[in-house]
Structure 1
Amino acid sequence: MTSSTCPFCLHGSQRRRAGERSRMSSKVTSATSQKKGTSSATSQKKGKPSKTEKLRLQKEEEERKQREEEEAYLLAEQIEAARLEKERLEREAIERLEAKQLEHREEELGEYRLLIDEKLEDAARWKKDLRTRAKWDRYMLCDGSPDPSVCQEINTFMSLWSEETKEDFQSVLNKSNQVLRLIEELEFFLHDTPAEDLPEGDAAQYAQTVQQLQNLLQQKFDEATEHLLKNAAALSDIDTGNMQNVIANKNVKLCIWANLNKNPRFRGYKFEEEGISFDLPKPLALSNIAVRILHTSYDHLSCQSPTFQPHIREAEENKAEETLRPESGIEEWKPTEEEEEEKPEPGNVAAMEDDVQSEGRKSTLSSMSQREDPEKGAEPQENHGAEADQTTESQPGDITEGQPPSPVQDQPTPNDLLEDDVVDLRQFLSLGGVYYFDVLVLPPQCKQVNGWSMVQLVEGGLQNQPYPQESLLSTSLGLSLQEKDLEGLSSPPVGVSIKVPNDVIFFEEPQVARWDPESKNWKTDVIMSRSYNMEQRLLSFKMDAFHTFTLFQEAYLNMPYESWELKPNGMNEVSLTVTSAFTDIHLEIKDDQCRLAAVSSTDGDLSALLGKWMSPLSLRDAMKRVGLNFFPAEDSPKYVSVNKKSEQVEKMAYKEMALLSPSFALGWSKWNLNCSHEQIVVKVRECRDSSNDDDWSLYLLSPLRTQRLKISESDDTFSDDLYDGSEFHSTLYHMIKDYSSPDAIDRLKHSHHLFVDCVHQLLSMTKVLTYS
């Protein structure tokens, strides 16, 4: 059966569906409108928050900040508590280490004294016995030479020699060698004998005898020169008609020329082999004169100068007593409560150099420089009493309070009041000997008459020819010049050219100064037209007249040192290498003697010195004579920037370094500049077959104790923190003993006392801890 749909019903269905769609569309439109309205309301609310919303947000922000502050406060409290706890633990650990050190202090100091003090005392007794034996051997010598220490013998010798007349120059030269040995013997007595073993009266007698021998020697040279000039005609040269002669030995060289021909065109003469020449001023060409250049390898004039001896102020001599371990009787030192509570902290005291640095290598000899006014020199420092009291309490990093008290300079020393042209012999060294440059009146010549030698005797002995002198030319010609001729007469300067001796070292151009017999000073006031050929070592200059002159070099060119290292080479053998701005020196020590083994750069011939074994005092004098001054004096801080350290701490350090030298290498540390003046930092490593050259450890020495440092040489900042697991000890020996092999310690105990004393002397003379 086929169904059919009613049209009316279909139409109704369509109308229902259309209505539903209309209603759905209306709902969507309404929902969209509602959504738009809500969005508009929300946008309006966000753009303009209400007052309530603002208060709520502000309250939330305040609560958040309060929570953060509370959390930060709690965290800071925790950090501070941790820090305080760490400091407490460290302080307790330090106190335990200090208590342990004090507990074993007497034992360590007793063992230290057995090792080092007894070695040095044994060496002192041995040297005293050696001086006694030498005196006895001198008495038993019986070689005809007088004993210079016996007043009667040396006076008899000088009296007999002074009475001898008509000695030729060669005889005087031969006798001069003996006189110089006597002078050297007396000077050795003065320098080598301790003050307590040399009575003051004997010292004054030796010094007076030295001066008398020096004067007598120069007197005999003058007499022999006069005797030689009386026979100048017989010794004249056929080619020139004048007399020129050279007589020399290893200590003295005489170059003499006599004007016998009187050639008006004569300008000068050169002694070829000796490398000495002079220009004769024209007014002297026709004069009856002789020119003498007497070159002595020694210097007997400088010791007469007021600037030769150091002038130490009384305030510096009477230094404030420091709370330090004494040099002798070291076991008697006890720390005070204040010292236990107040431990100095490390700091940088590099600015300390400004207080001890002097005028800074001012060259008195340079024509371009002028000595500063004494009032502008080192500024006086006040309140030294307060500074002395605060030395142990102040921090090392404090530039003013942490420094040792400086000497009061209320009264300037004689060296501070020198004239501009006077050479300060505390700052400059005389090298190459002395040149006695004189123009002499030619004495009447010896004549042969009927087989007889006849000579006119002239009172007064050898006489100097005055120069410059206005009427000199007219006198020599026997003419009467007009006044207008005298007005045009000039006195030209005297030219000199010398070859600098090969056995001395000049790191800079040699400076020249002439001797002023009135003030007894070396002066630079009349030196002109100086020139120097470094390759030929030829020095030329002019003077206004004939003067005694010498060459100078600044004494402290090689100070302060750049670095140093003390290294063992075998049993009772070590080497000391010191590096300076100009050269490096290598010293070797074996048993009780030392030598200069090598010099890195030099323009001289040191074959007479290199490799020669001698005592430390003899080596010091020999090196200074050739221009290698690595030995500061007591007043050297006036001229050199030094790393000022406490004198007692420095002396203690040199003793301990000498004790350790047979087994350990010790060297310069940059941190020694950054600790206080009562502390010293050295680097140490044990020398054995398996040791590494970079295996250095740093140790801090102070009056209270010695400790190993945690820092290394390559670190950026200084710290006195203890090395992990280390302890405090009273001496460096016991500190290093904790990290050393038994063989190394055994070598220290069996080292010879004379060797240890020799190392100690050399370290004390070079002062490597304060001049590096």
Structure 2
Amino acid sequence: MSSKRTSATSQKRVKSSKAERLRLRKEEEERKQREEEEARLLAEQLEAARLEKERLEKEEIQRLEAKQLEHRDEELGEHRLLIDEKLGTAARWKRDLRARAKWDRYMLCDGSPDPTIRQEINTFMSLWSEETNEDFQSVINKSNLVLSLIEELEFLLHDTPAEDLPESDAAQYAQTVLQLQSLLHRKFDDATEHLLKNAAALSDIDTGNMQKVTKNKNVKLCIWANLNKNPRFKGYNFEQEGISFDLPKPLALSNIAVHILHTIYDHMSCQSETFLPHIKEAEENKAAETIELQSGAEEWKPAEEEKENLELGNVAAMEDEVKSEGRKSAISFMSPREDAENGIEPQEKNATEADQTAESQPGDTTEGQPPLPVLSLPTPDNILEDDVVDLRQFSSLGGVYYFDVLVLPPQCKQVNGWSMVQLMEGGLQKQPYPQESLLSNSLGLSLHEKDMEGLSSPPVGISITVPNYVIFFEEPHVARWDPESKNWKTDVIMSRSYTTEQRQLSFKMDAFHTFTLIQEAYLNMPYESWELKPSGMNEVSLTVSSAFIDIHIEIKDDQCRLAEVSSTDGDLSALLGKWMTPLCLKAAMKRVGLNFFPVEDSAKYVIVNKKSEQAEITAYQEMALLSPSFAFGWSKWNHNCGHEQIIVKVRECRDSSNNDDWSLYLLSTQRIQRLKISESDDTFSEDLYDGSEFHSTLYHMIKDYSSSDAIDRLKHSHHLFVDCVYQLLSMTRVLTYS
């Protein structure tokens, strides 16, 4: 009986435990159902709240867009008046200034020819060509005048808008530049020949050879004549000039002279086919961009007054570097290859050619994440030979060294008080090198067998002190001129060594070649940051930071200057602190190796966040107008917005203002808005700043948050100052190349 009771009890316990589990499972399921229902209800409430928030935000956006559209014509009209008052007035003033300068040049009676008048300049060149037996010092003195005439013509070609310079005049100026360059080089050769005819009379007592240096600020001639013909002669060092050469052994007994002409200017690079931009591809890219931008709604187009204002940038980077259609045809009176060979400079492009961008209708807001930035990657126009220097990517610095070995002409002799010299046809002759027969033909002398090793034509060694007025951020490279292909090449440069402390560069070449020093043009691009800051009435400063160097440019009235450079191994005393026009500053900085000025095809060599050209030009105009009272700076978010959008940080400059009190503004062709995000946020958003509205211009947008004193300073700023700021911003293109 006891075992039966135990079994029944066990069964009862099992049934009780099973029922408990069923009960607990049921309670758990009911709890889950309740939680799921609560979660569903909460999700529905959140979704409803989100939809309601989006509805309210959309209604608010539509309200703001409608309000902007209502005041759009009024704001654009006021903006056009500001543009005309500042930039338009400056454009008209510069047009009048060019007219006065032309008249003043015509009335100038200083004995120099007017290079723009064909008869005068042709007479000058003809008379100088007929002069003979000029000594080298006379020629280099006259070269100053010739170089000034070339500079005058090149300035006219770059500074004058295409509509103000007829095609025929542009072609004439370009042709005159080529003729003056050719004549100058020919006169240097003639003067060198005249000098070498008197080499014996100028020989050095100690060495028996002639070594002579003649120079001025633009040209330096170092010449050595082999009069002694010492077989053990190794080379000569022009110590004071920082130039030395090693004479190959086969030439030690030859009747030769070593000629090193250093010019601080470069009349060779412009002959290269890589010097000019590839216009065809640039036009195709621009046409494709225009088609893309016109796919949207019709945008607001500037009135005639505004179009005139865009002409102001003719000395700015985009206008300075890209040729307009009229100017292109004027300069291209020869074939493209002939143009390059004759050194024709690329001309400006009028900003009125800027592509038209689309304007969205109210309510066309962007959904979801912001568009990815449009990056332009470096892609070459065509495939060049490995040893050809692409002058769109590299720059020639420090001038050109014409390194030649010349046949020593018959020497002038004194006979009964008469100077007699044998005249040779063909003028100055270059000695062929390498040439296997040099040693065996040298004066008919017998040679030892050990001297026959000279028949292998050893390379030519040369050492120079790199000019201290140019900056090299890396070790300078050497390129030699190939007269056949008319390109700079690096194919026969060997044994190159560079001492940074002494700036001493040594290398060897297979023969005597004209050479130059080259550096990559875009080492300082893209910029790491930039800031435009007012510093007084009609005064601002532009600071640009790059990977290698920081520069500080000051703008005052209608001129600017390079005020400070963070660090450099060169001597920039001739440039620092000198006031000049933006165009002259650009040329001077590029000449010393400070290239902070992109050209129209720079995006092939620099990774940039490409922006609509029209949006960029408009932004620079706005920044120039507001620069008397507001500081502008680089924003990291500029890379997060689209092709037609630009983001800058702005703050009003007051005596008591906080330097970190920046606001972010999004600029587009559709509208201007203040952003809620700050520079320190982690994610990008186009959300509006609380309580802000849309405006059609940055000027009206900033007025909502500005003091009356700031707006008053804008109205009293000088139009030439505003134009100067606009030019410098357009040249540096800080919004795209940062």
User: Quick check: TM above 0.5?
Assistant: yes
SS at match of 2:53: helix
Q: Offset of 1:487 from its aligned partner?
A: 8.5
Which residue of the other structure, out of 640, 645, 649, is the alignment partner of 1:674?
640
Match of 2:347 in 1: none
Which of 644, 663, 668 is 1:702 aligned to? 668
Which stretch shows the higher mean deviation, 608-617 or 483-492? 483-492
1:125 and 2:92 equivalent?
Answer: yes
Question: Partners of 2:701 and 2:734 in 1: how far apart?
Answer: 22
Amino acid of the structure 2 residue aligned with 1:183: I
Counterpart CA distance in 1 for 2:164 and 2:580 is 23
* Matched ranges for 1:257-272 at <5 A: 257-272=224-239
Question: How big is the shift at 1:199?
Answer: 1.3
After superposition, the Cα gap between the structure-2 partners of 1:241 and 1:582, relative to the gap in structure 1 and judged at 3 Å, is: same
Quote the Cα distance in structure 2 between the aligned partners of 1:730 and 1:346. 24
Spell out, residue by residue over 1:263-316, the C-alpha distance to the aligned partner (whole angstroms, 9 max, x if none): 010000000110000000001001000001000010000011110000031411
SS of the residue corresponding to residue 442 of structure 2 reads helix
Structure 1 counterpart of 2:364: 341
- 1:386 aligns with none
Q: Deviations over 1:225-255 (max 9, x none)?
A: 0000000000000000000000000000000
Question: Aligned residue for 2:377?
Answer: 357
1:346–1:674 Cα contact (<8 Å) kept: no
Structure 1 window deviating more from structure 2 (649-658 vs 56-65): it is 56-65
Matched, 1:139 2:106: yes
Structure 1 position 118, deviation (Å): 3.5
Does the aligned pair in 2 maintain the 1:346–1:675 contact within 8 Å? no
* Other structure's SS at 2:202 match: coil
Sequence identity (%):
80
Q: For residue 387 of structure 2, what is the aligned residue in structure 1? A: 421
1:153 to partner: Cα distance:
0.8
The answer as to 2:294 corresponding to 1:328 is: no
Query: Cα RMSD (Å) of the superposition?
Result: 2.5
Partner of 1:553: 519
The equivalent residue for 1:489 is 455
Structure 2 contact 357–614 (Cα < 8 Å) conserved: no
What is the distance in 1 between the residues matched to 2:736 and 2:22?
72
Q: Counterpart in 2 of 1:395? A: none
CA distance, structure 1, for counterparts of residue 68 and residue 88 of structure 2: 27
Deviates more, 1:646-655 or 1:258-267: 646-655
Q: What is the CA distance between 1:111 and its match in structure 2?
A: 1.1
What is aligned with 1:162?
129
1:317 and 2:286 aligned: yes
Superposed counterparts of 1:458-469, under 5 Å = 458-469=424-435
Selected match of 1:86 from 39, 45, 53: 53
Structure index of larger Rg: 1
Tell me how far apart the structure 1 counterparts of residues 163 and 135 of structure 2 sit (CA, whole Å).
44
Write the distance in 2 (CA, Å) between the matches of 1:296 and 1:654. Answer: 38
Q: 1:239 aligns with which of 200, 206, 209?
A: 206
What SS does structure 1 have at the residue aligned with 2:241? coil
1:531 to 497, 500, 519: 497
Q: Secondary structure at the match of 2:609?
A: coil
In structure 2, relative to structure 1, the CA distance for the partners of 1:704 and 1:42 (3 Å cut) is farther
2:163 pairs, out of 196, 203, 225, with 196
Contact residue 512 and residue 552 of structure 1 kept, 8 A = yes
Deviations 1:647-689 (A, max 9, x none): 1111111111111100001000001111112111100110011
State the alpha-carbon separation in 2 of the partners of residues 327 and 769 from structure 1: 22
Question: How has the CA–CA distance of structure 1 residues 690 and 263 changed in structure 2, closer, same or farther, with 3 Å as cutoff?
Answer: same
CA distance in structure 1 between the aligned counterparts of 2:18 and 2:147, rounded to whole angstroms: 112
Structure 2 unaligned blocks of 5 or more: 308-355
Q: Does 1:106 align with 2:73?
A: yes
- Cα distance change on mapping 1:463 and 1:46 into 2, 3 Å: farther
| Structure 2 match to 1:506 | 472
* CA distance in structure 1 between the aligned counterparts of 2:52 and 2:509, rounded to whole angstroms: 79
Residue 229 (str. 1) matches residue 196 (str. 2): yes
> Alpha-carbon deviation of 1:204?
1.1
Q: Which one-letter code corresponds to 2:255 in the other structure? A: N
Distance change in 2, residues 1:85/1:340 (3 Å):
closer
The yes-or-no answer on 1:665 pairing with 2:688 is no
Q: Is the 8 Å Cα contact of residues 299 and 358 (structure 2) preserved in structure 1?
A: no
- 1:770 aligns with 736
Q: After the TM superposition, which residues 679-690 of structure 1 pair with which residues of structure 2 at under 5 Å, given as runs? A: 679-690=645-656
Write the mapping of 1:11-410 to structure 2, written as runs, cut at 5 A.
45-49=12-16, 58-312=25-279, 313=281, 314-319=283-288, 320-321=290-291, 322=293, 323=296, 325=299, 328-329=302-303, 340-343=363-366, 347=370, 349=372, 352-353=374-375, 356-358=376-378
Cα distance change of structure 1 residues 39 and 717 upon mapping to structure 2, 3 Å threshold: farther
The 5 A counterparts of 1:557-572 are 557-572=523-538
Q: Distance in 1 between matches of 2:74 and 2:701?
A: 14
- Gap change, CA 1:112 and 1:614, over 3 Å in 2: same
Number of residues of Structure 1 aligned to a counterpart in Structure 2: 682
Cα contact 1:327–1:648 (8 A) shared by 2:
no
The one-character-per-residue Cα deviations of 1:21-40 (angstroms, maximum 9, x if unpaired) are xxxxxxxxxxxxx9xx9999
Q: Conserved in 1, the CA contact under 8 Å of 2:250 and 2:439?
A: yes
Code of the residue aligned with 2:154 in structure 1: it is E
Counterparts of 2:6 and 2:670, CA distance in 1: 83
How far did residue 41 of structure 1 move?
7.4
Q: What do residues 616-635 of structure 1 show as CA deviations (whole Å, max 9, x unaligned)?
A: 11110000000000000000
* Whole-angstrom distance in 2 between the partners of 1:128 and 1:506: 38
- Residues 282 and 326 of structure 1: is their aligned pair in 2 closer, same or farther, counting only changes over 3 Å? farther
- Give how far 1:69 is off: 2.5
1:271/1:427 CA distance change after superposition, 3 Å? same
User: Match for residue 22 of structure 1?
Assistant: none
> Which secondary structure state, in structure 1, belongs to the residue aligned with residue 472 of structure 2?
coil
The alpha-carbon distance between structure 1 residues 85 and 181, as it changes in their structure 2 partners (threshold 3 A), is: same
Deviations 1:498-533 (A, max 9, x none): 000011001100000000111110001110000000
Q: Distance in 1 between matches of 2:620 and 2:368?
A: 23
Structure 1: gaps spanning 5 or more residues = 1-33, 360-376, 378-412
Find the aligned partners of 2:531 and 2:193 in 1 and give their Cα distance.
55
Q: 1:744 to 1:52 in 2, by over 3 A?
A: same
Report if aligned partners of 1:251, 1:296 keep a CA contact under 8 Å in 2. Answer: yes
Find the aligned partners of 1:335 and 1:528 in 2 and give their Cα distance: 55
Distance (Å, rounded) in 1 between the aligned partners of 2:407 and 2:358 = 75
CA distance in structure 2 between the partners assigned to 1:452 and 1:271 by the alignment: 33
The answer to whether structure 1 residue 630 and structure 2 residue 596 are counterparts is yes
CA contact (8 A) 1:223 1:461 kept: yes
Q: Look up the match of 1:639.
A: 605
Selected match of 1:442 from 398, 403, 408: 408
Aligned AA (2:609): N
- C-alpha contact 1:577 1:586 (8 A) present in aligned 2: yes
